[in-house]
Structure 1
Amino acid sequence: MSRVVYAFELRGIQGYLFNTGRLKDMIYASELIDYVFGQPLDEALLAVGADPARPQPRRAGGAAYLVLDSQEQAQRLRDLWTLSLMQLLPGIELVDAVATGASVKDAVKAALDELQVARNKPLAQLPIATPLTALAPRTGQPAVDKERSESLDASTVTRRRARRVDAGLMGRFGDVSLKWPNNFEEDSHESTRFKLNADNFVGMLHLDGNGIGVLLRVLNNAARNLDDDGYIEAYRIFSTELENVTCEAARKATEDVLIPAQSDKGVIPARPLVLGGDDLTILVRGDLAVPFAMSYAAHFEALSVGFIQKLTKLLNTDELPASLTTSGGLVLVKPGFPFSQALTLAESFADIAKTKGTDAQGNKVAALSLYRIQGAVGDDANALFKREQIARNIELSLPAYALTSTDHEELPSLSTLCDLVDVALAKNFSKSRLRNLVSLLYQDLELAKSEYQRWRSLMKKEAHTCALWSKFESALVALVGELATDLPCSNQKNNEQRYYSPLNDLLVLLEGKMVSPLHLNKEANNDCE
C-alpha cells in the first residue's frame, strides 16, 4: 500500500513581516503566521475528512508534512489550503507538493524533492496590478482599501483587521496577562507604547540553534530502519520537542530579564516577532538585549538535554550531542531604522557568530555577535565591520562572544565583557577619557598612545583608582590575552594580521547601561543609603 504526503512551506516570511515598516503591522503579521498552523489547518483537515489529532512528521516552523489517506484527499486538501492561505495571508509565498511512496519516509522524501522544484515556480500574487491600478505607498502592491486616506494592499488590510482571541505568540513568553507594546509613537497610550531609554536604542535580536542540520542527518540515518509509525513519531518528537525547548527558553528568559524591567504601567520592554522551530527574533530595549540573549541561550542549552535524551532513546543511537546551543546576532538601532534591514544585518552577524564559535572538531558553542548602527547602512556584517571597526591595524570590536560559558578557548566570554562594563561604570573611572581614547585611535595612533599612558599613570597614583585600573586590565586580558604595553589591545595579531580590542563593544554596552532605568534606580538607592 502506497503512502501519500502533502507537504507545504511558507516562504518570504521576512518580507511579509516587514513590508510596511510599521511595528503594529509586523506584530499582526507574525500573529497571523503563527495562527494559520493551528485552528485554520485543523479545520481544513476536518473538511477533507482527515483527523487533525493524527500524529504528523512535521507541523511547525513555517512548514508541514501531512500524511493522508489517499491521493484524492491530499489533492482536495492542497486546493482548499491554497485558497485558505490566499485569504488569510495574502502576499505570502506558498510552496507545496503532493507525493506518494512505498513508505511515509519515501513519500516525504519525494515531496521534499518536489518542493525544491516548486520553489523555482512561484505562484502569481493576486490581485494583479494594471497600469491604472492604485498602489499602496508602503508596499508598492495593488491597493484594495483605504484607511485615513492611506491606500492599503490586501496584506496590510488583512493583518490590521485580524485579531486573535487566544494568547497566540505572546502566550509562549509567559502569562497571558503580560502587556506587550505595539508601537514607538510618543503620543500613544502608555499601555501600548514601547518605551525606550534616553539613548533611544532598540535591539533587533535574532538567535537560532546550532547543529540542527547535523542532528537531522543523524535522525535521517537512524530513521531508515523504522516503520511508518516509528518514523512519524521520531520526526514528530524532533519537531515539537525542539519548538518546546525554544518556547520554554524564551519564557524563562522573559521571567529572568524582561518582567523585572517592565514599566510603571506594566508594559514589557520588548516585542517578539518570531518564535518557532529553533528560531527567536525579538525587539528588546537596548540595555536588556544582551542579558536576555545570555539568559535565553543558557536555558536553551539546559532544556535541550532532555530533548536529546528522548531522541537518543527513541533512535537507539549514540551519535547525538549531549545538548544543543544557540547563536545569533544583535543589532542596536533607532526606531526609525528599517526593521527589515535590521533583521538582515542581525542574521548576517549571526553567521559571523556561528563561524567564530566553531572549534577544530566542528563543535559549535553558543555565541553572539553585536553591533550598534548609528547611520545609514548598505553593507553586510563583514563589510560593516571592516569599514567601521578597524583603526589603523587595530580591530576595536571583537567579532563574537561566548554566550553561556567562560571556558571556551574559541571565544572571549560575553560575561567577562559585562564585568568590564561594571568596572567602567564606577564613579572614579573616566568615561570621557575612554571615549576620547577610542576617538584618537581612529585619528592618530601616537596621540592615542600618549593619552593612554597619561590616563594609566593618573589611575595608578591613588590606591582605590589603582585597584579599579587593575580590574580593568584584568578583564581586558581575559578577553584578548596578553596586552600591548602602550595600548589596551592584544599584544598578538589575529589571523588577519591585526591587533584587537573590545573597546567599541565596551562603549556600546556601557552607554546603554548608563541610561538604563535599572542602573539609575540602583544608583539612586545607593545615594539614599
Structure 2
Amino acid sequence: MTYCYLFEAKSIQSYLFKTGKLKDVIAASERLDVLVDDNNSVLIEVLEQLGYSHNLADKEARGEIKFLRCKGAAFFAYSNDKAPLQALRNIWTLTVLQLFPGLEFCDALVYGEDGPDKETNEPSKALQNAIKLGQQRLAADRNQAKVNLPLAPAIAEVSQRTGNAQVPTSKLARFAPKEEVEFERLDLDTDLHRQAYELMNLKHQGALQGKYSPNEQKYTYPIDLENDFDFSTEQNAHSGKQNDERKDIALVHIDGNGLGIILRKLNKALKDADESVYANAYRTFSEGLAAATQKAAQAATQLVADYGQTNNRLAMRPLVLGGDDVTLLIRADLALPWSEKFCEVFKQTSKEALASTVKVIKQYGDAEVTKDIKDYLSASGGVLFQKAGHPFTNSHHLVEGLCEKAKRLTKQIDNNVGPAALSFLRLSNTATQHVEQVIKQNVTVTLEELEKLTTALPAYLVEPHSHYPCLADLYHLFDVCTQPSTPMTMSKWRQLLTHLSLGDMAEATRIYARALTLAKGKKSELEDAFNQLSKSQNDTTWYWQQDGEWFSPLSDLMVLERFYFKPVDAVEAQ
C-alpha cells in the first residue's frame, strides 16, 4: 500500500492581481515563487520542522517522504506510511493559510494498492493507482467552496481594493507615503505582501526576476511603471512623441501545449512499472519542464537586454515563471518579439528536457501509447497592449482569454501537440468584460452586407504551417503597406476602418478600389500579401471568411503601426 499527498495552488493569476497595484503583484509573485520551487522554499522549512527524512532537495536521496513533483506552486508526495503525509498535510495547509490567507488551493490524501486499474481493469502498481485517484480527488476539490479567514461580515471594515476584511496595518507594511497608509485599508494578504516587499528588499532584487535574467547577469527590473519604466524607443524618439503618448505596456501570458498528453502517455506506459522507475520518470519530467521554460524565458529576455536596457535595468517586469507558464509586463514594442522568441526556444528546450521521458515511454509503452508521440512541446499565448496607467485588476482575465484563443488555433491544427500561436489585442480604455465581449466592442463592426466583420484575426502561428495565418505573413503585409509607393497607406486604412465602424461597407470598398485603380505596379504586390496571409479562395482581398465568420487584419495592422519592432532594425539603427 502506498499513500500519496497532492497539493496544488489555483487561480494564481487572480491572486496576484487582486489589488491592481504593481508592488503587491511583485511581492505576491516573489512570495509564491519560493513556496515549493526552491531549496530554500517554505516547503523545505516545513519538512525540517516535521523531522521526517525526504528527497525534495535531492531526488536520489532516500527518505520517508518522497516527491514526484515539486514545481509551479504544486507538489505530489508519497510514502509507504500514512503518518508522515498526514503530518505534512496538517502543518502545510496551516502554513499556507497563515502565509497566503486568500490563496485558493486544493489538496488530497489518498492511498493505492497493487491491482487492476478500476477503469481499464489492466494491471497497475500501488503508486500509479494512488496518483490517478489523487488527481481525481484534486479535480473534485477544485469545485468545493472554501472559506477564507478572516471573515468579512456586514459590520466589518473591508479593504477598498479587494473587499476582504480589513486588518490593522503592520509597521513593516507602512513603507508607502504617510497619506496613502493613513487612508488605505489593507486586508491580511495585502499587508503580508507589503511586509515581504520590505523584508525581501524587492525594490532591488528577487528570486523570480533572477530566473528571467540571461547569462547569469544581474539585471534590475522596474517597480514603478510611471517613473522607473523606460518607455523610450528609437521609433518614438524619431517621431518626437511625448512621454504620455508612449507609455504603452503589454501584459504577456504564455502557456505550454501538450503537457497533459505527455503525462497521460507516461502514466499509461508505466502503469505497472516499478515504483522507483515511475517516480524518477515523473520527477525528471517535472524538473526538466521547469528548466526548459526558464531557459526559453532567459533567451527571450536577452532581446530586452539588447534593445530595452537602461543602466542595467530592463524594460520588463517578471510576474510568473512556473511549470510551463510565464506571465510578465513588458514594453509594448518588445512584447511580440519576446513572445515569438520564447515560443521558438521553448520548442527546442522542451525537446532536450523530454528526451529521457520519451525514451522511457517508448521503452515501456505499447504501440498504442507510443503512437503519434512527439518529442517536444509547444507554447501558445496572449499579448494585451494597454496604457501603463490603466488598472491591471481585470487585465489578466483578458490576456488569459487571448491565450485560450491562441490555444484553440493550436488544437485545431493538431490536437496532439500543435504549433505555437499568439493572439494579441490593443485596448485604449479599461475593460471588465469577458474577452469575447471586449473583442465584440472594440474590433467588431456590424455591416448590412456581411452582418458582422471582425477586424482582427483570432490568432497567428509563430511559424508558417499549411494554410493558417502566421506572424511572418502579417509582418510582410505591414511592410508592403508602409512602402512609399503602396496604393493603400496606413492613413487610408484608418480612413477605411472609420467607415467600417459607421457601418458603411460601400464607402470602404470604394476607397480600396479607388486606391488600386490609381496604383502603379503595386496592386498585385498588395493583393499577393493579403492572399499570402489569408490563404483564402474568396474573391475579396482585404477581408475573408474563416470558419463561417468574416475577418480582416486591419486592426492588427494598426497595432503593428504603433508597436512594430525588428531586432535587426535596431542593430542597424545603432
Task: Return the TM-score normalized by structure 2.
Answer: 0.81
1:215 maps to amino acid? I
Q: Which moved more, 1:443-452 or 1:223-232?
A: 443-452
1:324 maps to amino acid? L
SS at match of 1:36: coil
Structure 2 CA distance for aligned equivalents of residues 495 and 4 of structure 1? 49
1:112–1:323 distance in 2 versus 1, CA, 3 Å:
closer
1:110–1:359 distance in 2 versus 1, CA, 3 Å:
closer
Structure 1 CA distance for aligned equivalents of residues 27 and 414 of structure 2? 43
Structure 2 CA distance for aligned equivalents of residues 353 and 314 of structure 1? 31
Pairing 1:47–2:49 present: yes
CA offset at residue 523 of structure 1? 9.2
Match of 1:402 among 461, 467, 484: 461
Residues 475-515 of structure 1 deviation map (CA, whole Å, 9 limit, x = unaligned): 2121013587776334xx333253x32111111111223xx
Structure 1 CA distance for aligned equivalents of residues 156 and 408 of structure 2? 47
Equivalent residue number for residue 160 of structure 1: 194
Structure 1 CA distance for aligned equivalents of residues 291 and 250 of structure 2? 24
Q: What are the equivalent positions in structure 2 for 1:71-470 lying under 5 Å apart? A: 71-102=82-113, 103-146=126-169, 147=174, 148-149=181-182, 150-162=184-196, 163-164=199-200, 167-174=206-213, 175=216, 177-185=218-226, 188=227, 190=228, 193=229, 195=231, 198-255=245-302, 257-315=303-361, 316=363, 317=365, 318-319=370-371, 320-359=373-412, 362-363=415-416, 364-391=418-445, 392=447, 393=450, 394-403=453-462, 405-406=463-464, 408-429=465-486, 430-443=489-502, 444-460=504-520, 466-467=521-522, 470=524
1:472–1:284 distance in 2 versus 1, CA, 3 Å:
farther
Match of 1:495 among 543, 547, 553: 547
Structure 2 CA distance for aligned equivalents of residues 156 and 494 of structure 1? 46
CA contact (8 A) 2:30 2:206 kept: no
Structure 2 CA distance for aligned equivalents of residues 143 and 381 of structure 1? 31
Structure 1 CA distance for aligned equivalents of residues 549 and 136 of structure 2? 45
CA contact (8 A) 1:182 1:194 kept: no
SS at match of 2:297: helix
CA offset at residue 290 of structure 1? 0.9
1:285–1:362 distance in 2 versus 1, CA, 3 Å:
same
1:252–1:361 distance in 2 versus 1, CA, 3 Å:
closer
Structure 2 CA distance for aligned equivalents of residues 12 and 61 of structure 1? 12
Match of 1:481 among 535, 555, 568: 535
Residues 257-307 of structure 1 deviation map (CA, whole Å, 9 limit, x = unaligned): 211122433321111211111111111211111111111110011222222
CA contact (8 A) 2:231 2:248 kept: no
SS at match of 1:128: coil
SS at match of 1:203: strand
SS at match of 1:7: strand
Structure 1 CA distance for aligned equivalents of residues 247 and 529 of structure 2? 28
List alignment gaps of at least 5 residues for structure 2.
60-66, 114-125, 175-180, 237-244
Structure 2 CA distance for aligned equivalents of residues 75 and 286 of structure 1? 48
Q: Which moved more, 1:269-278 or 1:63-72?
A: 63-72
Structure 2 CA distance for aligned equivalents of residues 453 and 131 of structure 1? 64
Q: Which moved more, 1:279-288 or 1:303-312?
A: 303-312
Structure 2 CA distance for aligned equivalents of residues 349 and 213 of structure 1? 20
Structure 2 CA distance for aligned equivalents of residues 73 and 260 of structure 1? 50
Structure 1 CA distance for aligned equivalents of residues 432 and 289 of structure 2? 35
Equivalent residue number for residue 15 of structure 2: 16
1:337–1:519 distance in 2 versus 1, CA, 3 Å:
farther
Task: Return the TM-score normalized by structure 1.
Answer: 0.88
Structure 1 CA distance for aligned equivalents of residues 569 and 346 of structure 2? 30
CA contact (8 A) 2:467 2:535 kept: no
1:113–1:396 distance in 2 versus 1, CA, 3 Å:
closer
SS at match of 1:357: helix
Equivalent residue number for residue 505 of structure 1: 556
Structure 2 CA distance for aligned equivalents of residues 64 and 273 of structure 1? 20
Q: CA-atom RMSD, angstroms?
A: 2.7
Structure 2 CA distance for aligned equivalents of residues 180 and 251 of structure 1? 14
Q: Which moved more, 1:379-388 or 1:276-285?
A: 379-388
Structure 1 CA distance for aligned equivalents of residues 278 and 573 of structure 2? 59
Aligned residues: 505
Pairing 1:7–2:24 present: no
Structure 1 CA distance for aligned equivalents of residues 427 and 103 of structure 2? 29
Residues 368-423 of structure 1 deviation map (CA, whole Å, 9 limit, x = unaligned): 111111234344333333444344224322211111x22x1252110121222333
Structure 2 CA distance for aligned equivalents of residues 484 and 313 of structure 1? 46
Equivalent residue number for residue 463 of structure 1: none
1:325–1:31 distance in 2 versus 1, CA, 3 Å:
same
CA contact (8 A) 2:252 2:399 kept: yes
1:510–1:180 distance in 2 versus 1, CA, 3 Å:
same
CA contact (8 A) 1:452 1:487 kept: no
Q: Which moved more, 1:216-225 or 1:64-73?
A: 64-73
SS at match of 1:296: helix
Q: Which moved more, 1:305-314 or 1:451-460?
A: 451-460
CA offset at residue 109 of structure 1? 2.8
CA contact (8 A) 1:357 1:410 kept: no
CA offset at residue 335 of structure 1? 2.4
